[in-house]
Amino acid sequence: MSDSRQAVSETPAEAAPRGRLASGLKLIADNVQRLPNKPGVYRMIGNDGTVLYVGKAKNLKKRVTSYTRTAGHSNRIVRMISATTAMEFVTTATETEALLLEANLIKRLRPRFNVVLRDDKSFPYILIAEDHVAPQILKHRGARRRKGRYFGPFASAGAVDRTINALQRAFLLRSCSDSVYESRVRPCLLYQIKRCAAPCTGEIDTASYTELVGEAKAFLSGKSQAIRADLSHQMEAAAANLDFEAAAIYRDRLQALSHTQSHQGINPRGVESADIFACHQEGGQTCVQVFFIRTGQNWGNRAYFPKSDRSHTASEVLEAFIGQFYDDRDCPGLILVSAPLDGAGLLEDALSMRSDRKVAISRPQRGTRRELVDHALSNAREALGRKLADTASQDKLLSGLAEAFGLDSAPRRIEVYDNSHIQGTNPVGAMIVAGAAGFQKNQYRKFNIKSADLAPGDDYAMMREVLTRRFSRLLKEHPRDAEIDDDGALPAWPDLVLIDGGRGQLSAARSVMADLGVADIATFGIAKGPDRDAGRERFFAEDREPFSLPGRDPVLYFVQRLRDEAHRFAIGSHRARRKKAIAANPLDEISGIGPTRKKALLHHFGSAKAVARANITDLEAVEGVSAQMAQAIYDHFHEGA
């Protein structure tokens, strides 16, 4: 069996390489001569400058030499060699450093021949802020700029909210902002319902509150059993001293801890902190299910569908996925996986180096840990099944769309354009993208209309500007003759363009596309029907009469969803721009006016309008404003006088 596979894989090499393959082989061979026998990272680069593949090596020279022949390689590697027109190299001190750099580059560059983690959402954390005498507990997402302890990740914001709610009952930590804290003169409602110890009004002294904060940190750090035992001991001691009120407080706190350790589904025994990765492959697609176990609790899970070639095994996907997953996240001491990893030892060393603690990767064979992995694998299988069913439905809709609109084949990339403004103010153009995998939100684009001579409310001119900017940039960054088929990946160029509007909007769009030489892209206008009723839309094309689709046609519903999504995105972008414009202060436009002078001016005059009306003498009376600065401020507001 192995001999037959080897024979098949060597077929490309047995024939003399020609064309792009021969060119790629020669380029790689030329680079090999100058490579050191050191660990490092190499990048294969395509004709348009994009990175095709990022790899790490214990020995750069030996690893890259393996690409100078096609024998033994899969079709994916042969295609990669054929597309390579340049290479770049970085040497590292150790193979572990090379692995860390490789994961970082893959996540940033998203090469088409690597396993790429598709992760456009950050995880929420619990933050116990330490920049105040009375630390605050709150939900946090994003960059960790605030001083404090971060606990997580949680799979969803809801899981964070539920956990904080339980922790407030257990440890009575405040959740109010610092400004609210400073303004309190009497305890708030949270103190009355026993969710806060009210350090703001001195209901608890600083030392006792600090002790509560320490207990909360210990609990979230995995010492839940010790905290429970301590609270139980204090409850018994209070009861023995006949202090039943204090005993009741400890009892309520214990009940809150029991709740937070049981309300989030399966909670493993004997596993305090671990991440579980399970990979399932089917139909040429892959799902990785990640479960988070912290303090002996299930903090939720999330399904990922990484971009990978069909030739990648579950082990290869998991190994690449885990390296990228922890590029910017904390790593627990234990990682459980559903498939064996060839580079588990190296990955353990890399994660241990990054986390400053020992990290172990295990594929359990029995017991509670095996049950956890099997549960995650079952969830991965079910999630991929749902995705495949959705994909089949989407494929059917795309085929129906091609038939209804007279396209040669089902579109792989659909772009929908819409504009939004209020009487011409803050005009914004929007583009949304959809394909076989549904809406591709990382491909959405907004266009702040910049034309100074554009008449307010001129929708046609707005559409011309949006499409000119979009397709001019596309021609520059992705020449059509250089586009490479990427095995079902979303192409850079659309097969179908939909314009929210009627014949006039379509005419404006087609004129731009003709001027840019891309008039062969199928383009349709979508106009609302009489009385703007949904279901009575009219479709316009350059080479056919306007037409409608049957009222209950699934294709019509699909097009309506596309149009509505474009409208939603355009409205949201317009509102964001309008909000920013409203919040803008005219003082920000004056050179030399920084935050300190701006604050002084507003404090002295009360508003920017009052500053604009002030004379030079009054301006000079403001602390920090010189005679020269006062003249500059006055001239800014009276330049037309």
**Fold category of 586-637 in CATH:** DNA polymerase; domain 1 (1.10.150)
Q: Which two tokens stand for residue 287?
A: 């799902």
When pLDDT is averaged across residues 580-601 and rounded to a whole number, the result is 74
- Return the biggest CA–CA distance within the chain: 94
Pick the CATH number of 411-581 from 3.90.1300.10, 3.30.420.340, 3.20.20.190, 3.40.50.2020: 3.30.420.340
What b/e readout covers 134-152, taking b as 16+ CB neighbours within 10 angstroms? bbbbbbbeeeeeeebbebb
Average pLDDT over residues 522-527: 91
Statement: residue 253 has pLDDT above 80 = no
Residue 264 binned pLDDT confidence (cut-offs 50, 70, 90): very low
Lowest-confidence pick of 134-148, 447-461, 563-577:
447-461
Question: Burial of 358 by CB count in 10 Å (0-12 exposed, 13-18 middle, 19+ buried)?
Answer: exposed
pLDDT-derived band at 315 (thresholds 50, 70, 90) equals very high
Query: How many Cβ atoms sit within 10 Å of the Cβ of residue 520?
Result: 9
Q: Look at 1-10, 59-68, 220-229, 556-565 and tell me which has the smallest mean pLDDT.
A: 1-10
- Tokens found for residue 56: 């790490």
Q: What is the DSSP letter of 478?
A: S
Helix (H) or strand (E) holding 421: strand 413-422
Q: How far apart are CA 395 and CA 401, in angstroms?
A: 10
Could you tell me the pLDDT band of residue 6, with boundaries at 50, 70 and 90? very low
Contacts of 124 (CB under 8 A, 6+ apart): 139, 140, 141, 152, 153, 154, 156, 157, 159, 160
pLDDT at 42: 94
Mean pLDDT on 382-403? 87
User: What does the pLDDT read at residue 56?
Assistant: 92
pLDDT-based confidence at residue 497 (cuts at 50, 70, 90): very high
- What CATH class does 2-109 carry? alpha beta
> In angstroms, rounded to a whole number, what is the distance separating the alpha carbons of residues 272 and 292?
10
As a dihedral over the C-alpha atoms of residue 70, residue 73, residue 79, residue 82, rounded to 10 degrees, the angle is -20
- The answer to whether residue 544 scores a pLDDT higher than 80 is yes
Answer whether 274-385 and 411-581 agree in fold. yes
Q: Give this prediction's pTM.
A: 0.65
C-alpha distance from residue 36 to each of 5, 33, 42 (Å): 33, 9, 12
- Angstrom CA distances, 106 to 305, 324, 403, stand at 16, 7, 39
Residue 7's pLDDT is 36
Poorest-pLDDT segment among 418-422, 426-430, 465-469? 418-422
Q: Report the Cα–Cα distance between both ends of the chain, in Å, rounded.
A: 90
Listed range (2-11, 234-243, 325-334) with the worst mean pLDDT: 2-11
The residue ranking higher by pLDDT, 483 or 161, is 161
CA-to-CA distance for 11 and 42, rounded, in angstroms?
26
Q: What is the 3-state secondary structure (H, E, C) of 94-122?
A: CHHHHHHHHHHHHHHHCCCCCCECCCCCC
Strands (E), 73-180: 86-91, 125-129, 137-140, 148-151
- Whether 340 has a pLDDT exceeding 90, the answer reads yes
Per-residue pLDDT, 309: 83
Question: Rounded distance, CA 99 to CA 122, Å?
Answer: 23
Task: Spell out the long-range contacts of 265-268 with Cβ–Cβ below 8 A and sequence spacing 24 or more.
Answer: 265/298, 266/298, 266/372, 266/375, 267/296, 267/297, 267/298, 268/293, 268/296, 268/298, 268/368, 268/369, 268/371, 268/372
Do residues 419 and 459 touch, judged by C-beta distance below 8 A?
yes
Q: What's the full length of the chain, in residues? A: 641
Q: For residues 528 and 151, give the distance between their C-alpha atoms in angstroms, rounded to a whole number.
A: 50
Q: What is the mean predicted confidence (pLDDT) over 30-43?
A: 90
pLDDT in tens, 61-99: 999 999 988 777 788 888 899 989 999 999 999 999 999
Give the pair of three-digit tokens for residue 424.
């011409």
Mean pLDDT of 258-265: 49
**Which pLDDT score is estimated for 259?**
55
Residue with tokens 């409850």: 235
Q: Taking a C-beta distance cutoff of 8 angstroms, is the pair 548, 538 a contact?
A: yes
Which carries the bigger pLDDT value, residue 487 or residue 281?
281
Residue 602: band (very low, low, confident or very high) from pLDDT cuts 50, 70, 90: confident
638's CB contacts (< 8 A; 6+ apart) are: none
Scored b (16 or more CB within 10 A) or e, 573-608 reads bbeebbeeeeeeeebeebeebeeebbeebbebbeeb
571-576 — which CB contacts under 8 Å span 24+ positions?
A: 571/420, 573/420, 573/428, 573/430, 573/446, 574/420, 574/421, 574/422, 574/426, 574/427, 574/428
**pLDDT at residue 504 above 70?**
yes
CA geometry: angle 301, 302, 303, nearest 5 deg: 135
* Per-residue confidence (pLDDT) for residue 4, from 0 to 100: 36
Q: Supply the pLDDT for residue 606.
A: 75
- Per-residue model confidence (pLDDT) at position 597: 82
Percent of the chain topping pLDDT 90: 23
Domain boundaries, given as residue ranges, for the chain: 2-109, 125-260, 274-385, 411-581, 586-637
CATH number among 3.40.718.10, 3.40.50.720, 3.40.140.10, 3.30.420.10, domain 274-385: 3.30.420.10
Give the per-residue pLDDT at 246: 67
Report the Cα 584 to chain-centroid distance in Å: 28
Mean pLDDT of the chain: 82
User: What pLDDT is attached to residue 215?
Assistant: 82
Query: Strand, helix or coil at 407?
Result: coil
With 0-12 CB in 10 A as exposed, 13-18 as middle and 19+ as buried, what is 533?
exposed
